[in-house]
Amino acid sequence: MIVAMQEGAVEDQIQAVVERLTEMGFDVHKTTGARQTVLAAVGSRNDFDVRELEVMPGVEQVHRISAPYKLAGKSFRPEGTVVRFANGLAIGGEEIVVMAGPCSVESRDQLFRVTEQVAKAGAKVLRGGAFKPRTSPYSFQGLGEEGLKLLREAGNKFGMLVISEVMEISQIALMLPYIDIFQVGARNMQNFNLLRELGKVRKPVLLKRGIAATIEELLLSAEYIMSGGNYDVILCERGIRTFETYTRNTLDISAIPIVHKLSHLPMTADPSHGTGRRDKVAPMARAAIAAGADAVLVEVHHDPDHALSDGPQSLYPEQFEKLMHELRMIAPAVGRKMA
Ligand code: PEP
Ligand code: MN
């Protein structure tokens, strides 16, 4: 951490800051310039709050140099994390994985129809919500355990892994036998109790970025899961809330290379929630792959006009097939191939 003192800071103020930093466990290196004194604090602590120093008399600016997360940071595993599954599929390696399926599991007929279509087009992971975080309590809330059973059955039938959203701690044990990846939704990115519990399970977790979360906050949430011993965390950019109204959210494509620089964890993009409009999904999925995403998560429905949730952003099966074809052309251009 670097503490720049104000031009007029007096010796007592400088000394007070040095003492505070020493108390916090830092070694302090002082540089006295012609106008200003700069203190460089070196140490392994990363649980400090820079504001504690910013509010001290005589302090002009404080800059944190090291990241506040350890396990999620690049230096923990510079070679990168590859999340591997028993069927040989891997997320974070050379191959790009497509996860697709309906927003919600609505019925056996719906799920099996969509699964057959996305599997045929080349998706490797079946998505579908059994527990739905809906903005309105009057909207469809999901089929619960019945939905999980259908997901497992459809996944097995069409040779796909299964991902579904977990909304609360009590659902973890219930979901374990049915799913291959736990999805933590945007609304729960900072549900720290849930994250801690997911740190205890030995199944991968796909952690979505919150609608108003910074990339640093996303990485700190990953740190919660990893600090419990579960290192199989996959991050996901799903759009953030901005002032733009043409889209439901603004898909922050730049988060993909940023996360790849800061972290060793695989990075995914969800262009469906990221845009909220069907016609914007394919262009943003293509952009995400071009930007280096390790996987994409796409909503597809056989009859989106009658979907119980997120119909307007769900692709028709033919659109998904076309997108897969396009992704197969883009992947080699960025040194990857499709799983
Ligand atoms: C979903 O994947 O259907 C979902 C609810 O996502 P998010 O948490 O990104 O809104
Ligand atoms: Mn959805």
Q: Using pLDDT thresholds of 50, 70 and 90, give the confidence band for residue 170.
A: very high
Distance of CA 57 from the midpoint of ligand 1 (Å): 46
Q: At CB < 8 A and 24+ separation, what contacts does 253-260 make? A: 253/284, 253/287, 253/288, 253/291, 254/291, 255/209, 255/215, 255/218, 256/288, 256/291, 256/292, 256/293, 257/291, 257/292, 258/215, 259/215, 259/218, 259/219, 259/235, 260/292
Distance of CA 272 from the midpoint of ligand 1 (Å): 9
Instruction: Please compute the mean of the pLDDT values over residues 184-191 and round it to a whole number.
Output: 98
Residue 325's pLDDT is what?
Answer: 98
Of the listed ranges 128-137, 185-194, 253-262, 284-293, the least confidently predicted one is 128-137
Q: Which bound ligand lies closest to the C-alpha atom of 239?
A: 1
| Ligand 1: lining residues by beta carbon, under 6 Å | 103, 129, 133, 185-187, 208, 238, 270, 273
- For a mutational test of ligand 1's pocket, the pick from 238, 301, 309, i.e. the residue with the most ligand atoms closer than 8 A to its C-beta, is 238
CA–CA separation, 330 and 71 (whole Å): 32
Residue 297 Cα: closest atom of ligand 1: 2
Instruction: Please compute the mean of the pLDDT values over residues 2-23 and round it to a whole number.
Output: 96
Over residues 310-332, the pLDDT tens digits come to 999 999 999 999 999 999 999 99
Over residues 254-266, the pLDDT tens digits come to 999 999 999 999 9
Q: Which bound ligand lies closest to the C-alpha atom of 313?
A: 2
Q: Is the pLDDT of residue 109 over 90?
A: yes
Residue 185 Cα: closest atom of ligand 1: 8
Which residue, by CA, sits nearest to atom 3 of ligand 1? 103
- For a mutational test of ligand 1's pocket, the pick from 166, 206, 270, i.e. the residue with the most ligand atoms closer than 8 A to its C-beta, is 270
Q: Which bound ligand lies closest to the C-alpha atom of 314?
A: 2
Residue 96's pLDDT is what?
Answer: 98
Q: Which bound ligand lies closest to the C-alpha atom of 271?
A: 1
Which residue, by CA, sits nearest to atom 9 of ligand 1? 186
Distance of CA 30 from the midpoint of ligand 2 (Å): 53
CA angle, residues 162, 99, 156, in degrees to nearest 5: 35
Instruction: Please compute the mean of the pLDDT values over residues 150-167 and round it to a whole number.
Output: 98
Over residues 18-44, the pLDDT tens digits come to 999 999 999 999 999 999 999 999 987
Distance of CA 36 from the midpoint of ligand 1 (Å): 50
Residue 309 Cα: closest atom of ligand 1: 3
Residue 278's pLDDT is what?
Answer: 97
What's the per-residue H, E or C state across the chain?
A: CEEEECCCCCHHHHHHHHHHHHHCCCEEEEEECCCCEEEEEECCCCCCCCHHHHCCCCEEEEECCCCCCCCCEHHHCCCCCCEECCCCCEECCCEEEEEEECCECCCHHHHHHHHHHHHHHCCCEEECECCCCCCCCCCCCCCCHHHHHHHHHHHHHHCCEEEEECCCCHHHHHHCCCCCEEEECHHHCCCHHHHHHHCCCCCCEEEECCCCCCHHHHHHHHHHHHCCCCCCEEEEECCECCCCCCCCCECCCCHHHHHHHHECCCEEECHHHHHCCHHHHHHHHHHHHHCCCCEEEEEECCCHHHCCCCHHHCECHHHHHHHHHHHHHHHHHCCCEEC
For residues 259 and 266, the answer to whether their CB atoms sit within 8 Å is no
Residue 266's pLDDT is what?
Answer: 98
Instruction: Please compute the mean of the pLDDT values over residues 76-103 and round it to a whole number.
Output: 97
Percent of the chain at pLDDT exceeding 90:
96
Distance of CA 105 from the midpoint of ligand 2 (Å): 11
Residue 239 Cα: closest atom of ligand 1: 9
Q: Using pLDDT thresholds of 50, 70 and 90, give the confidence band for residue 47.
A: confident
Residue 84's pLDDT is what?
Answer: 98
Which residue, by CA, sits nearest to atom 4 of ligand 1? 185
Over residues 189-244, the pLDDT tens digits come to 999 999 999 999 999 999 999 999 999 999 999 999 999 999 999 999 999 999 99
Residue 66's pLDDT is what?
Answer: 86
Q: Using pLDDT thresholds of 50, 70 and 90, give the confidence band for residue 114.
A: very high
- And the tokens for 252? 């922050």
Q: Using pLDDT thresholds of 50, 70 and 90, give the confidence band for residue 48.
A: confident
State how far the alpha carbon of 12 is from the alpha carbons of 18, 30, 55, 171, in Å.
10, 14, 15, 56
Q: Is the pLDDT of residue 154 over 90?
A: yes
φ/ψ of 164, rounded to 5, equals -150, 155
Q: Using pLDDT thresholds of 50, 70 and 90, give the confidence band for residue 157.
A: very high
